[in-house]
Amino acid sequence: MRTIILSFFLIPFFLFAAEVKSYDFVVAKDGTGNFTTIQDAIDAVPDFRKKETEIYIKNGTYREKIILPGSKQFVTLVGEDKFKTIISYDDYAQKKNRFGEKMGTSGSASFYCYGDDFTAINLSFENLGRPWRPYAKVIFMHCNLPKFIEDKGWHNWGKESNEKTAYFAEYKNKGAGSMSQNRVKWSCLLTDREADSLNFQRVFKDWVPNLTFDR
């Protein structure tokens, strides 16, 4: 009888253990991982390692200005939930650094990636998106737009001619900033058919290699 009871409890344990994937590092804000910040985990990756280093990030909003140096190669960040694992920071071009100098656009990013073969899976990089140059193409889909978004939504960068060449669109966003009926006339709302056509292959084409993930 004792043997039967022991087997009954061991079987579920082994089934559960088989489903747990092993990662090189785990990041958790609550201290249940190897690190509490993503930057600390990246810093722990050996320089110029030739194999992939997988960093699992538990749910939470990580307010960090992250730098992946060129010496950290084949780094993969894997979030617990793409909607709940968020990397965010609030620098901006006019903000001043410790020396009283304006940071500028290049200095205000939240994530700097210099390492080759970097991959991010199942997480969100939270930034203020904007168009760039006359032929910009920008689409906000399934985003939470807060109330500080202006009703007109988009700006032509001070050049009316940009309105004829730039493409600005929205699709099924939520939040107080997404409900305006006063968007600029030269932006548009995507139809379901147009949104469905924006798959990975069509957007990126041959820009990235063919990758498969066992997750």
Q: pLDDT tens across 140-178, in order?
A: 998 888 888 889 999 888 899 999 999 999 999 999 999
User: What are the structural domains of the chain?
Assistant: 1-128 (2.160.20.10), 129-215 (no CATH)
pLDDT score for 4: 41
pLDDT score for 213: 57
Query: Mean pLDDT, to the nearest integer, of 191-201?
Result: 90
d(CA 181, CA 11): 58
Both tokens assigned to 135:
């032929």
pLDDT score for 115: 97
pTM for the predicted model, two decimal places:
0.69
User: Strands 111-113 and 66-68: what pairing?
Assistant: parallel
d(CA 37, CA 46): 17
Cα→Cα distances 206→45, 85, 173, 199, Å: 29, 28, 28, 13
pLDDT tens, residue by residue, 13-50: 344 333 447 999 999 999 999 999 999 999 999 999 99
pLDDT score for 206: 77
